[in-house]
Amino acid sequence: MEYLVTIGLEVHAQIRTKSKMFCGCSAEVASAAPNTHVCPTCMGLPGALPYINRSAIEMAARTGLALNCRIQHDNVISRKNYFYPDLPSSYQRSQFDDPLCVAGWVEIDGDSGAKRVGLTRVHIEEDTGKLNHQPDGSSLVDFNRAGVPLMEIVSDPDISSPEEAKRYFQKLQQILRWIGVNTGNMEEGALRCDANVSVRPEGQKEYGAKVEIKNMNSFRSVERALTYEIERQKKALDAGELIRQSTRGWDEDRGVTVEQRLKEGSEDYRYFPEPDLPPLKLSDAWIEARRGELPELPDARRARFVSEYGLSAADADVLTVARGDAEYFEDAVAAARAHGLAPREVANWVTGELFRLAKDTGETLADVRARFRPEFVGEVIALLAAGTITRTSAKEVFEASFREDAAPAEVVRARGLAVIGGGDALAALAREAIASNPKSVADYKSGKVVAIKFLVGQVMKASKGQANPQAAQAALEEELGRI
């Protein structure tokens, strides 16, 4: 039997604020000693009142606008009543009926071309703490993360395959990093994902039972977990078994999903407005101010790189993966134009040599720009175009400038890499090549004129790539004419 797959993702993204969502504790908790970033409010102690982190609301609104959402003028923070062993108040401050952002979309490369995945909402909440399971079977609780500002980005059930789910998750990470609201660091738990998946026979209108897979923190895990769960449900349906609405965990080592509990509905959480926090009232002017804080987004910049700079779609894709890369490239283009160089030439060196070197050092272009300034790219290309250096030595100049924080022209002078274009030095190299290769000389003298190409290669080798090839051939022809 053929089946239809329906997937929706709930992505949990920590907001990059200095303090927690409802108190003044530091939100920089990733490497902190356990239970050192806590206070009476985030520990849920009686009489400790919360207050709303303004920056978190602003960043969440910017996120909604970047994801094409509508920002609601009136929204409410509620209590979600559910027992969390790592959330000391035993309820979570979150949003449900009146979220901050609604009705957005994200465009991805779908299985059959460009595809828009709808967004139900983007709402704010507080993160939970963390359980550290011990070898003896006990668990220790670290409350540092409890109360860290969190966004939950809930997609519509528009995703049709594990591959599309992975691409959607990747696109979200790119946008969140691009606008500076999330680190995208999944190893530290700053970005996590739950997936809802159902399978139904082709032709059946009603969705199948929804199964939720919890807390995946890598693109690979999302794809693997969904692939496994889809096959599990298909086999169960083929065998006539009933799929139960449930929550399952992903076991990365075994590559399987494991049932944890039957799935709750929203009524089980007994949402009600948080009595200690006022409703949020957001004006049109406030919303437009948040829109004005957004940079040019990745899709728009990618399209502009193609239309304005004449880049290929592939190069534009590579150069807009990270905002720092795109900005470095544009700064390099602006500097290179002073030398009359085309953006395409800059793109070739950035996507080739510069990305190779940055990968070797484990840096981003944002990291290296203070040392290897964007204008250095154009300076290397200009030296090559002027004939001051050869293409072989250009790569040496580029790498030395990258590693040594030195301008390309300084590297050329310090290393003596300027082209040998003629004179006694080139004549001496030509005589040496002739003396060392009598067979090639005999071939040339007997009429095999292509034999001189080998001799040119020998001159280039002896000069370590610094000889001008045309000048080297001219010097050889002159010396051979004397024999």
Mean pLDDT throughout 81-92? 83
Instruction: Give CB contacts under 8 A, 24+ apart, made by 433-437.
Output: 433/458, 433/459, 433/462, 433/476, 434/476, 434/479, 434/480, 434/483
Mean pLDDT throughout 439-467? 85
Mean pLDDT throughout 254-273? 80
3-state DSSP helix/strand/coil percent for the chain, to nearest 5? 40, 20, 35
Q: Is the pLDDT of residue 324 over 60?
A: yes
The C-alpha atoms of residue 213 and residue 245 are separated, in whole angstroms, by: 11
Mean pLDDT throughout 181-209? 92
The C-alpha atoms of residue 18 and residue 27 are separated, in whole angstroms, by: 5
Instruction: Compute, in degrees rounded to 10, the torsion defined by CA atoms 411, 415, 416, 418.
Output: -40
Specify the DSSP element, H or E, that contains 168: helix 162-178
The stretches of 256-370 forming alpha helices (DSSP H) are 284-292, 298-309, 313-319, 323-336, 343-349, 355-361, 365-368
Mean pLDDT throughout 52-64? 97
Mean pLDDT throughout 40-47? 91
Tens of pLDDT, residues 336-348? 998 999 999 999 9
Facing residues of 78 across strands? 94, 273
Q: Please, what is the angle between helix 408-415 and helix 391-404, to 10°?
A: 110
Q: Is the pLDDT of residue 424 over 70?
A: no
Helices (H) and strands (E) in the chain, counts: 17, 16
- Judge whether 255 and 224 are in contact, CB under 8 Å: yes
433 confidence band (pLDDT: 50, 70, 90): confident
- Judge whether 266 and 232 are in contact, CB under 8 Å: no
DSSP annotation of 239: T
The size of the chain, in residues, is 483
pTM score, two decimals? 0.84
The C-alpha atoms of residue 201 and residue 4 are separated, in whole angstroms, by: 6
The pLDDT mean for the chain works out to 91
Tell me, what's the pLDDT at 420? 62
Whose structure tokens read 């035993």?
Answer: 90
- Judge whether 215 and 27 are in contact, CB under 8 Å: no
Mean pLDDT throughout 225-243? 93
Specify the DSSP element, H or E, that contains 153: strand 149-155
Strands of 15-135, DSSP E: 70-71, 74-75, 78-81, 91-94, 101-110, 113-126, 130-133
Tell me, what's the pLDDT at 263? 61
Q: What percent of the chain has pLDDT over 70?
A: 98
Mean pLDDT throughout 421-428? 65
The C-alpha atoms of residue 445 and residue 447 are separated, in whole angstroms, by: 5
The C-alpha atoms of residue 131 and residue 61 are separated, in whole angstroms, by: 30
